[in-house]
Amino acid sequence: MAIGIFDSGLGGLTVLESVARRLPEVPLVYLGDNAHAPYGVRTADDIFGLTCAGVERLWAEGCDLVILACNTASAAALKRMQETWVPEGKRVLGVFVPLIEALTERGWGDNSPPREVAVKHVALFATPATVASRAFQRELAFRAIGVDVEAQPCGGVVDAIEQGDEILAEALVRSHVEALKRRMPHPEAAILGCTHYPLVEKTFRAALGDGVRVFSQPELVADSLADYLARRPEFAGEGRASRFLTTGDPGSVSDRAVQFLRRPVSFEAA
């Protein structure tokens, strides 16, 4: 079977690229719900319904394991999905936990009580829905104490990336970083809490300045998935060839994907 990767739009391609480099032998099926992007301004119930529909489509492709390569879906829908909706024999995993494990220097399966960690002041950049969910702070509290998190809802950034407007996306990033630094002038670490944001990571780093450790998700998620599959190899069996699916217009989505990934990508209608 293939591994499914779901996102509201193009951002999850950053995760797919890292997973493909880390696990070149594993077929991947990507689904972007471009027709309904962005998720970051939707209600929790709306995000839950759209995410469930996307995951079901990937299950139909033979993907018993699906990665929600969308922080908004991971924050607003994953816990509810895992507790009430995912059937036996299927797995749906999110992208927050690998990030927090890296930040707190705790490995997978470390269920010891929360403890103090080296980083004390963390800037979180995410969509409005992710910030409102407080999912990052909730997961962090299971592993660490004494960490001050300042969250900045980055309205408009995902829209600009989805529309292929790099200039606007970069201008918005600089504006959001300035807004956060007015409240937390000297963050020690910054979390890019949206898989779209690695596409403008250089702008985040430049705006934050030297001395701020930036945590970006794609490589961390890929390493975490490799570890998971080593423990649960039944979810990495032989499967179909890699595919790219979209609920939007395949031609325009393919064109925007090529613009950011700098390589040919051909989407099909989901």
- Helix, strand, or coil here: 243? strand
CB within 8 A of 175, min separation 6: which ones?
Answer: none
Catalytic residues: 70, 194
d(CA 20, CA 23): 5
CA distance 162 to 36: 11
pLDDT digits (tens, 9 = 90+) for 105-137: 887 667 788 999 999 999 999 999 999 999 999
Q: Contact at 8 Å (CB) between 66 and 87? A: no
Please give the mean pLDDT across all residues of the chain.
Answer: 92
Tell whether the model's pLDDT for residue 60 goes beyond 80: yes
Are 51 and 101 part of one and the same domain? no
Tokens for 265, please give them: 């990508």
For the chain, the maximum distance between any two Cα atoms, rounded to a whole number of angstroms, is: 51
Q: pLDDT > 90: what percent of the chain?
A: 73
Instruction: Please write the tens of the pLDDT for every residue from 210-244.
Output: 999 999 899 999 999 999 999 998 887 555 668 99
Residue range of the domain that includes 25? 3-96+218-269
pLDDT digits (tens, 9 = 90+) for 137-164: 998 998 999 999 999 999 999 899 888 8
Per-residue pLDDT at 238: 57
**Is the bond preceding 87 in cis, omega lying within 30 degrees of 0?**
no
Instruction: Indicate if 60 and 164 belong to the same structural domain.
Output: no
pTM score: 0.89
Instruction: Report pLDDT for 83.
Output: 95
Report the CATH number at residue 249: 3.40.50.1860
111 and 177 fall within a common domain: yes
pLDDT, one tens digit per residue, over 28-51 is 999 999 999 889 889 999 999 999
Give the pLDDT of residue 174: 98
Dihedral sign of CA atoms 21, 253, 164, 48 in order: negative
How far, in Å, CA of 69 to CA of 128, rounded? 17
Place of tokens 């599959």: 229
User: In the prediction, which pLDDT does 105 show?
Assistant: 86
Name, in order, each residue with C-beta under 8 angstroms of 160's C-beta and a sequence gap of 6 or more.
166, 168, 169, 172
Residue 17 has which token pair? Answer: 């690229």
Q: Indicate the pLDDT class of residue 97, thresholds 50, 70 and 90.
A: confident
- Structure tokens given for 187: 């963050």
Q: Are residues 180 and 239 in the same domain?
A: no
